[in-house]
């Protein structure tokens, strides 16, 4: 059910608080790349995608694959806020603990409502293409969204799948690159430059759109443009800020794969009032 | 259904050919059967399917990792995807995708490697797959099949399609001797006693089955009664057939067109060690890469013919006494 921008912004704030609390409780995890993806994942689950959290295996649902599986906290928090039965809000703080459904990376064995188990980078777009081709064979109008990390597109398989997506004209797939500029070892440009990102996707035959990945109306517009684009898939290159929403985490490579300390959790939650 | 009459070598179709033909039959019966290939459809024989069902055939180009991922996605969308290429490329380049996108989430993916073993021949070691059974068996929850002839391939491809869960099937390039009558029954995980015998058991699969049967006939003339067990399912193993063979014969040879370091032999030996320890010998490729040559020449040179199986049997029978 579509929501107003104000409602979506309020959900984004709750999701950011969830991410901080759950990674803080876990004492490990990937808060930075979870925070950068909040607006996009919230927009998809709370506004744009045709899904029914009470009927997660509805055959005509839209699909979302978090190919950058290490950003699991944002997906867990959003699914919990959206009300899927297998992602209870009360359990979010069990993230990464033995027996928790909130595994370190998304795992369909623990959360059947997930579309895919991810965590090994580079694989999600291939899976998305397969799901989308299957939907096309069945004449279903559902769409498949896949979020990739910017560092992730250093994986060769991403470009194998980019080539295949254009060749097979899989226009019911949308790839979204969370271009926050930071990967584990530091700034992407210092580890392995990926620019020009949009040009690369265009060169592979995709329609590419560049947006501010924290601007909800811009995300909505891009998703509509992607849906209106026929005969080729669309890549949304979303310029984002790693650690977005928490001043000391923003653009700080440390918070790619380090959880906030208890003091940092308290500070962050103050900022996210 | 043990072979009673004298076994004579009569060449049948290659197992890859039987795979390609069976896919078409399956395609006619079930619209959910889809096929992915990585620019080798004229060799893997998925080309037959591609011609009859172009909408359900996906050319992925030379990109095995992506192919496995796409096929896993198709499975998640409710299709029964067969992804095929040469074993050498498919299992190594697609292994990680089989692990994370199929084995771990228990996806209904079917992977068929063709041109397995050294019997691909002239193309040489870069195309020869002598390790993929080990890799396939290390994928949790995968069923791993290695048919001996066209009848076995036809049956096992059908069983793979009907099985819910990931499956790997190992097929080969050359024409192979017909082992089974067309009405032979197959069951995943149930070995076939191709030849009855009481002095020694030969556990074998793939194109070595015919060689083992030939060896058993030579041995019979020497007064050695050799049981030949076709272990067409490498995973899950028919533990009871192995235990019974080891307990009843007290000596065992395992023969395979694969590295002995990590294939059928070590898996069978584990069961023997756990259930009914007995002397064992192993026929296979011993820590080497082969070379170019005609398939028959290579099998002869690298010790994978009836003569080699018989020699291993004599050795193990001597150890028994």
Whether the CA torsion B233, B234, B238, B241 is positive or negative: it is positive
Chain-centre distance for alpha carbon B85 = 15
What would the mean pLDDT of B225-253 be, rounded to a whole number?
Answer: 98
Whole-angstrom distance, CA of residue A157 vs CA of residue A120:
11
CB contact under 8 A, A135 and B77: yes
Domains of chain B, with CATH numbers? 11-177 (3.40.50.970), 192-320 (3.40.50.920)
Q: Catalytic residue positions of B? A: 64
Which residues in chain A are closer than 8 Å to B75, comparing Cβ atoms? 130
Predicted local confidence at residue A227, as pLDDT: 98
CB contact under 8 A, B74 and A157: no
Whole-angstrom distance, CA of residue B83 vs CA of residue A189:
36
| B34, B66, B77: residue with CB nearest A131 | B77
Predicted local confidence at residue A2, as pLDDT: 66
What would the mean pLDDT of B198-215 be, rounded to a whole number?
Answer: 98
* B80-86: strand order across its sheet: B57-59, B33-37, B80-86, B110-114, B167-170, B143-145, B233-235
Q: Are A164 and B61 in contact (CB under 8 A)?
A: yes
Predicted local confidence at residue B6, as pLDDT: 80
SS3 A39: helix
- CA A265 to chain B, closest CA, distance in angstroms equals 33
Alpha carbon dihedral A233, A237, A243, A246, in 10-degree steps, equals -110
Report the greatest alpha carbon distance in chain A: 53
Residue B240 pLDDT exceeds 70: yes
The pLDDT tens digits of the residues spanning A25-63 come to: 999 999 999 999 999 999 999 999 999 999 999 999 999
CA angle B249, B250, B255 (to 5 degrees): 80
Which residues in chain B are closer than 8 Å to A116, comparing Cβ atoms? 73, 76, 101, 105
Which residues in chain A are closer than 8 Å to B58, comparing Cβ atoms? 133, 168
pTM of the model: 0.96
Please report which confidence band the pLDDT of residue B65 belongs to, taking 50, 70 and 90 as the band edges: very high
Residue spans of chain A under pLDDT 70: 1-2
Predicted local confidence at residue B216, as pLDDT: 98
The pLDDT tens digits of the residues spanning B7-16 come to: 889 999 999 9
CA angle A266, A245, A151 (to 5 degrees): 115
Chain-centre distance for alpha carbon B226 = 21
SS3 A217: helix
Whole-angstrom distance, CA of residue B220 vs CA of residue B201:
13
ipTM of the complex: 0.96
Predicted local confidence at residue B321, as pLDDT: 67
Query: Could you write out the three-class secondary structure of chain B?
Result: CCCCCCCCCCEEEEHHHHHHHHHHHHHHHCCCEEEEECCCHHHHCCHHHHHHCHHHEEECCCCHHHHHHHHHHHHHCCCEEEEEEEHHHHHHHCHHHHHHHHHCCCCCCEEEEECEEHHHCCCCHHHCECCHHHHHHCCCCCEEECCCCHHHHHHHHHHHHHCCCCEEEECCCCEEECCCCCCCCCECCECEEEECCCCEEEEECCCHHHHHHHHHHHHHHCCCCEEEEECCEEECCCHHHHHHHHHHHCCEEEEEEEECCCCHHHHHHHHHHHHCCCCEEEEEECCCCCCCCCHHHHHHHCCCCHHHHHHHHHHHHHHHC
Whole-angstrom distance, CA of residue B231 vs CA of residue B245:
12
Predicted local confidence at residue B33, as pLDDT: 98
Q: List the CATH number of the domain containing A174.
A: 3.40.50.970
Domain carrying residue A196? 5-271
Tally of residues, chain A: 273
Tokens of A159: 């470009």
Predicted local confidence at residue B1, as pLDDT: 61
- CA B60 to chain A, closest CA, distance in angstroms equals 6
Beta strand pairing call for B143-145 and B233-235:
antiparallel
SS3 A223: helix
Q: How many domains are there within chain A?
A: 1
Residue B51 pLDDT exceeds 80: yes
Predicted local confidence at residue A86, as pLDDT: 97
Which residues in chain A are closer than 8 Å to B81, comparing Cβ atoms? 130
Preferred mutation among B56, B71, B77, B166 to probe A, highest tally of A CBs within 10 A: B77
The pLDDT tens digits of the residues spanning B296-309 come to: 999 999 999 999 99
Tally of residues, chain B: 321
CB contact under 8 A, A126 and B78: no
CB contact under 8 A, A108 and B79: no
């Amino acid at each position: 059910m579509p929501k107003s921008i104000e409602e979506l912004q309020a959900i984004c704030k709750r999701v950011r608080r969830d991410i901080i609390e759950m990674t803080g409780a876990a004492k490990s995890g990937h808060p930075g790349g979870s925070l950068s993806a909040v607006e996009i994942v919230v927009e998809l689950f709370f506004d744009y995608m045709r899904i029914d959290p009470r009927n997660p295996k509805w055959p005509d649902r839209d699909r979302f694959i978090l190919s950058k599986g290490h950003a699991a906290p944002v997906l867990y928090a959003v699914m919990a806020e959206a009300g899927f039965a297998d992602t209870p809000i009360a359990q979010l703080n069990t993230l990464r603990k033995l027996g928790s459904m909130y595994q370190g990376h998304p795992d369909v064995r623990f959360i059947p409502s997930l579309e895919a188990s991810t965590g090994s980078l580079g694989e999600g777009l291939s899976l998305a293409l397969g799901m989308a081709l299957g939907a096309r064979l069945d004449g279903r109008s559902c769409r498949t969204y896949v979020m990739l990390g910017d560092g992730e597109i250093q994986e060769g398989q991403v470009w194998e799948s980019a080539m295949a997506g254009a060749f097979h004209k899989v226009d019911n797939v949308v790839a979204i690159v969370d271009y926050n500029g930071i990967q584990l070892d530091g700034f992407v440009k210092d580890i392995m430059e990926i620019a020009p990102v949009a040009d690369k996707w265009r060169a592979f035959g995709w329609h590419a759109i560049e947006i501010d990945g924290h601007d909800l109306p811009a995300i909505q517009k891009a998703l509509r443009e992607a849906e209106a684009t026929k005969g080729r898939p669309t890549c949304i290159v979303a310029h984002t800020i790693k650690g977005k929403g928490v001043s000391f985490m923003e653009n700080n490579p440390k918070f790619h794969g380090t959880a906030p300390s208890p003091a940092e959790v308290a500070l962050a939650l103050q900022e996210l009032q | 259904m043990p072979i009673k009459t004298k076994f004579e070598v009569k060449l049948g179709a290659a197992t890859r050919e039987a795979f390609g033909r069976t896919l078409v039959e399956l395609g006619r019966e079930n619209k959910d059967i889809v096929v992915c290939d990585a620019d080798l459809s004229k060799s893997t024989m998925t080309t037959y399917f591609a011609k009859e069902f172009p909408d359900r055939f996906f050319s992925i180009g030379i990109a095995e990792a992506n192919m496995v991922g796409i096929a896993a996605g198709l499975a998640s969308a409710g299709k029964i995807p067969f992804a095929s290429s040469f074993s050498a490329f498919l299992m190594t380049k697609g292994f990680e995708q089989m692990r994370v996108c199929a084995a771990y989430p228990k996806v209904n993916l079917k992977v068929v490697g063709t041109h397995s073993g050294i019997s691909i021949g002239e193309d040489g070691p870069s195309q020869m797959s002598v390790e993929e059974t080990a890799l396939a068996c290390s994928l949790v929850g995968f069923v791993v099949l290695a048919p001996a002839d066209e009848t076995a391939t036809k049956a096992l491809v059908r069983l793979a399609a009907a099985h819910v869960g990931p499956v790997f099937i190992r097929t080969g390039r050359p024409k192979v001797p017909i082992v089974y009558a067309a009405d032979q029954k197959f069951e995943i995980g149930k070995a076939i006693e191709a030849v009855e015998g009481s002095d020694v058991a030969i556990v074998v699969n793939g194109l070595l089955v015919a060689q083992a049967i030939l060896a058993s006939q030579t041995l019979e003339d020497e007064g050695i009664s050799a049981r030949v067990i076709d272990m067409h399912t490498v995973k899950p193993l028919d533990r009871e057939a192995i235990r019974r063979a080891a307990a009843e014969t007290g000596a065992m040879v395992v023969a395979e067109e694969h590295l002995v370091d990590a294939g059928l032999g070590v898996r069978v030996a584990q069961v023997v060690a756990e259930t009914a320890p007995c002397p064992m010998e192993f026929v296979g490729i011993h820590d080497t890469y082969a070379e170019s040559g005609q398939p028959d020449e290579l099998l002869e040179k690298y010790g994978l013919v009836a003569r080699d199986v018989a020699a291993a049997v004599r050795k193990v029978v001597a150890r028994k006494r």
